């Protein structure tokens, strides 16, 4: 019999199932992420545009005019019943600039660096201090017990005169020339206060009611003199307002103009 040829068994490789992601799901996810990124980019550009324009869905807001702009200074002159023709001509011409610069230079020669600065019978007090510290200095001047010795004063005042590098109060009196200065209060008072001030300085505005209180409580003892000391590097309207005050002085209304400016600014700050 023919021999039957044996067939070798076929080797069958077992099938291996790999866990593969579904490509359709990946495409959907990538599309969603892309749309989200586009949406966020548009939102960011829109927000940046609003910030740069200074608005939130409306037109940019115009910068508010200063209460001591030149037009407002002229308005106050009219309200004070000054001769506005003369006042406006004086202000526009800049004829008082030299006097304002002279006041500033003189203040610097006395050691004034900022505002407000007060010389109380020559003793220097720099800053908007409370009435109580002014009172202590003034009372000693009236009583004849003022001293150049820092330790002769209260512990509160000593804080401001004990450090040579930071003397907000200097009890060593300096001679201050008050010739041709505008003044108010009693005539030839026992105590002279020379104030170097800036019409745009927030600390000068804060000191204004304290100065008024001094004049009220020492109406028979204090003579107040005023010198312009505009800090032009940081107060753009101060110099022109100082000139305006001298234009008002030409018509005998320096103090009325002075009070008008500080009271108007105090109201604006309170709003």
What is the per-residue pLDDT across 105-120, written as a single tens digit (0 to 9) for each?
Answer: 999 999 999 999 999 9
State percent of the chain over pLDDT 90: 72
Return the pLDDT at 180: 85
Spatial CA neighbour of 259 closest among 194, 215, 193 = 215
Q: What is the pLDDT averaged over residues 143-163?
A: 96
The mean pLDDT of the chain is: 86
Q: What is the pLDDT averaged over residues 71-100?
A: 98
Angle (CA) 122-126-131 rounded to 5° is 90
What is the per-residue pLDDT across 234-252, written as a single tens digit (0 to 9) for each?
Answer: 999 999 999 999 999 999 9
Q: pLDDT category, 6, cuts 50, 70, 90?
A: very low
Return the pLDDT at 165: 85
Return the pLDDT at 271: 83
Return the pLDDT at 11: 42
**DSSP string covering 13-68, please?**
PPP-------HHHHHHHHHHHHHHHHHHHHHHHHHHHHHHHT-SSSPPPPPPPPTT
Return the pLDDT at 152: 97
Q: pLDDT category, 61, cuts 50, 70, 90?
A: very low
Q: What is the pLDDT averaged over residues 173-180?
A: 94
The phi, psi pair for 157, rounded to 5°, reads: -70, -30
> Using CA atoms, how far apart are residues 173 and 124, in angstroms rounded to an integer?
7
């Amino acid at each position: 019999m023919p021999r039957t040829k044996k067939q070798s068994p076929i080797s069958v490789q077992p099938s291996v199932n790999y866990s593969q992601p579904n490509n359709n799901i990946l495409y959907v996810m990538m599309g969603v992420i892309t749309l989200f990124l586009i949406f966020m980019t548009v939102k960011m550009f829109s927000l940046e545009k609003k910030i740069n324009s200074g608005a939130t869905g409306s037109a940019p807001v115009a910068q508010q005019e200063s209460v001591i702009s030149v037009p407002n200074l002229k308005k106050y002159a009219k309200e004070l019943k000054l001769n506005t023709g003369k006042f406006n001509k004086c202000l526009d011409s800049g004829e008082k600039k030299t006097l304002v610069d002279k006041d500033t230079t003189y203040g610097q020669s006395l050691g004034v660096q900022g505002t407000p600065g007060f010389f109380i019978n020559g003793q220097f007090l720099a800053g908007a201090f409370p009435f109580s510290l002014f009172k202590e200095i003034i009372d000693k001047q009236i009583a004849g017990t003022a001293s150049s010795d820092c330790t002769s004063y209260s512990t509160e005042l000593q804080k401001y005169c004990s450090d040579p590098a930071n003397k907000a109060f200097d009890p060593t009196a300096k001679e201050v020339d008050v010739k041709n200065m505008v003044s108010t209060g009693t005539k030839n008072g026992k105590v002279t206060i020379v104030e170097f001030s800036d019409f745009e300085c927030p600390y000068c505005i804060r000191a204004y009611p304290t100065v008024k209180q001094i004049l009220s409580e020492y109406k028979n003892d204090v003579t107040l003199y005023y010198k312009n000391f505009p800090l032009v590097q940081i107060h753009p309207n101060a110099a022109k307002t100082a000139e305006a005050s001298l234009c008002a002085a030409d018509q005998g209304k320096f103090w009325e103009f002075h009070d008008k400016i500080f009271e108007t600014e105090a109201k604006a700050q309170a709003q």
